């Protein structure tokens, strides 16, 4: 195993990785920007290196500064978390060139899979079903129109280098396509430095189901079941659960087994997630593979009892996979909601500000992954994820009730700060969601309906005087 691991990230995921490293007896080092100088992970790490100002490009996306920090602290490995450089094959190669183990797939594998068009081609050759559309990038608007005409509208134009819900445009009619194609290419160039796009059929009433896999460098692999991530706004997830509800066990097993087969055939190594769309006929279509730990990984941990970050570290150190498929058992149901500092009534616009109150929930089978605390400044520079609330229960109904109870307890407030907690409540109250028969159209449907209350987190409820034990009461 490694003696020292450098954590090249921030926020809740940096804290999550730090804790895993400490539990395995490793020394921890973190990089941080000027905006994060007072963060919890900086305080808890064995060493911390300031690498730049608040701007991501000059700090958390500055590969040279991160590698130099790793050399300064004597790290043998770099854990990239999620986002930032976590799926950057060039960064992984730079780490290797400097004698550092990048905790993720080999650079060549990552380069092939991070390109969504390339990943589609690889997975198609591995036998995974794809949504109808182009496999290679489409070079012109006319070529895009030919693909759209062949598969039928609506279609979605996607950036080949995209990720995190960015670089995608849904097109409903032929008249919209040329403008959408041009706009998506420009957005892709600005966001990813790569303007290539491809076109596929857009499934309007589909489930977003993903599979967690673990693969080592010795050809071994296991899947850890499914997650449902259909509750999304602008392709960004809000609520996730494991296992995916209301689909036949045979369908879920087939999706999971197909995902693992695809990962092994393309030489994947590490903890990864293969994402699929499941249509109304329960046919599934490969979307993409994420070569990193996912924001929603805790729900899989809760139903399997397997620490995914521990497994990442073992695999990166060359240890053969410690699990066989027959040893993987799913127990109960876990649900996670992301608590973002955003205002759903203003298109989920970020609402930065200082937190005057921050008391996360507790109680049995309730986990909160967060980097925040009272007095914490939610700045405008980074992702708006503030916390993740994860609950487990033996059955789905109790898990949903437990999440509602946990959100009742979550006390967070500050001037100008809004959170997604009230919107998550609307999701939890929705009849289709409660039945487990919801699709990716759920959030749009709820937004089209009138809201029942304010989107700012309510002030704590006052307990009746006769009940001194009564309690009171937001990432992406």
What tens digit of pLDDT does each residue of 2-36 get? Answer: 999 999 999 999 999 999 999 999 999 999 999 99
Under the banding of pLDDT at 50, 70 and 90, the label for residue 457 is very low
Instruction: Report the pLDDT value the prediction gives residue 441, as an integer from 0 to 100.
Output: 94
Instruction: Report the pLDDT value the prediction gives residue 235, as an integer from 0 to 100.
Output: 84
Distance CA 359, CA 51 (A): 31
Distance CA 370, CA 233 (A): 21
Taking residues 177-187, report their average pLDDT: 96
CA angle 196-234-308, nearest 5°? 85
Taking residues 369-388, report their average pLDDT: 97
Under the banding of pLDDT at 50, 70 and 90, the label for residue 452 is low
What tens digit of pLDDT does each residue of 302-315 get? Answer: 999 999 999 999 99
What tens digit of pLDDT does each residue of 49-58 get? Answer: 999 999 999 9
Residue 469, burial from CB neighbour count under 10 angstroms (0-12, 13-18, 19+):
exposed
Of 186, 198, 55, 190, nearest to 121 (Cα)? 198
Active site residues: 292
What tens digit of pLDDT does each residue of 109-149 get? Answer: 999 998 888 999 999 999 999 999 998 999 999 999 999 99
Q: Is the pLDDT of residue 340 over 80?
A: yes
CA angle 165-238-62, nearest 5°? 45
Q: Is the pLDDT of residue 475 over 50?
A: no
Taking residues 340-352, report their average pLDDT: 96
Q: Is the pLDDT of residue 323 over 70?
A: yes
Under the banding of pLDDT at 50, 70 and 90, the label for residue 450 is confident
Of 415, 429, 433, 447, nearest to 347 (Cα)? 447
* 429 contact partners, CB below 8 Å, separation of at least 6: none
Q: Is the pLDDT of residue 471 over 70?
A: no
Q: How many CB atoms lie within 10 A of CB 93?
A: 17
**In the chain, % of residues over pLDDT 90:** 89
Taking residues 323-341, report their average pLDDT: 98
Higher pLDDT, 103 or 452: 103
| Residue 193: DSSP 8-state | S
CA 453 → CA 292, 345, 402, 446, 456, distances in Å? Answer: 37, 10, 22, 13, 9
Instruction: Report the pLDDT value the prediction gives residue 192, as an integer from 0 to 100.
Output: 85
Q: Is the pLDDT of residue 384 over 90?
A: yes
Per-position DSSP letters for 12-24, written without gaps between them: HHHHHHHHHHHHT
Under the banding of pLDDT at 50, 70 and 90, the label for residue 220 is very high
What tens digit of pLDDT does each residue of 165-175 get? Answer: 788 999 999 99
Half-sphere exposure of 411 (CA within 13 A, CB side): 14
Q: How many CB atoms lie within 10 A of CB 49?
A: 18
Distance CA 211, CA 289 (A): 9
Instruction: Report the pLDDT value the prediction gives residue 453, as an integer from 0 to 100.
Output: 52
Q: Is the pLDDT of residue 318 over 60?
A: yes
Instruction: Report the pLDDT value the prediction gives residue 377, as an integer from 0 to 100.
Output: 97
Q: Is the pLDDT of residue 438 over 60?
A: yes
- Determine if the peptide bond prior to 170 is cis (ω within 30°): no
Instruction: Report the pLDDT value the prediction gives residue 351, as an integer from 0 to 100.
Output: 98
Find residue 113's DSSP bridge partners.
none
Distance CA 149, CA 219 (A): 41
Instruction: Report the pLDDT value the prediction gives residue 193, as an integer from 0 to 100.
Output: 86
């Amino acid at each position: 195993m490694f003696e020292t691991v450098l954590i090249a990230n921030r926020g809740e995921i940096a804290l999550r990785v730090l804790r895993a490293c400490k539990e395995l007896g490793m020394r921890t080092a973190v990089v941080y920007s000027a905006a994060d100088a007072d963060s919890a992970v900086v305080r808890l790490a064995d060493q911390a290196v300031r690498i730049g100002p608040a701007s991501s490009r000059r700090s958390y996306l500055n590969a040279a500064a991160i590698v130099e920090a790793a050399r300064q602290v004597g790290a043998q490995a770099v854990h990239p978390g999620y986002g930032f450089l976590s799926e950057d094959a060039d960064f992984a190669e730079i780490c290797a060139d400097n004698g550092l183990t990048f905790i993720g797939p080999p650079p060549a594998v990552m380069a092939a899979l991070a390109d969504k068009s390339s990943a589609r081609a690889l997975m198609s050759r591995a036998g995974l079903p794809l949504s109808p559309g182009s496999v290679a990038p489409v070079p012109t608007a006319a070529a895009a129109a030919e693909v759209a005409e062949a598969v039928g509208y609506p279609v979605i134009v996607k950036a080949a280098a995209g990720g995190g819900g960015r670089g995608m445009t849904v097109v409903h009619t032929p008249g919209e396509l040329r403008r959408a194609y041009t706009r998506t290419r420009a957005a892709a160039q600005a966001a990813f430095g790569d303007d290539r796009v491809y076109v596929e059929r857009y499934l309007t009433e589909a489930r977003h189901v993903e599979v967690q896999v673990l693969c080592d460098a010795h050809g071994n692999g296991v899947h850890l079941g499914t997650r449902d991530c259909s509750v999304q706004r602008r392709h960004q997830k809000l609520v996730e659960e494991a296992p995916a509800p209301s689909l036949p066990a045979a369908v879920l097993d087939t999706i999971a087994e197909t995902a693992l087969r695809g990962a092994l055939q393309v030489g994947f190594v590490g903890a990864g997630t293969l994402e699929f769309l499941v249509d109304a006929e329960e046919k599934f279509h490969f979307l993409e593979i994420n070569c990193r730990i996912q924001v929603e990984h805790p729900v899989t941990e809760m139903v399997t009892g397997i620490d995914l970050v521990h497994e990442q570290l073992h695999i990166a150190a060359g240890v053969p996979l410690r699990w066989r498929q027959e040893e993987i058992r799913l127990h109960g149901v876990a649900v996670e909601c992301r608590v973002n500092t955003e205002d759903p009534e203003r298109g989920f616009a970020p609402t930065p500000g200082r937190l005057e109150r921050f008391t996360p929930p507790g109680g049995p089978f309730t986990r909160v992954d967060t980097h925040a605390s009272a007095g914490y400044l939610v700045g405008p520079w980074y992702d708006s994820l503030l916390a993740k609330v994860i609950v487990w229960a033996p059955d789905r109904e109790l898990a949903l009730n437990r999440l509602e109870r946990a959100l009742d307890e979550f006390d967070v407030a500050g001037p100008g700060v809004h959170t997604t907690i009230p919107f998550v409540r609307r999701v939890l109250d929705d009849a289709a969601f409660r039945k487990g028969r919801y699709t990716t159209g759920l959030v749009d449907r709820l937004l089209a309906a009138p809201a029942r209350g304010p989107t700012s987190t309510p002030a704590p409820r006052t307990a009746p005087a006769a009940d001194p034990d009564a309690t009171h009461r937001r990432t992406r």
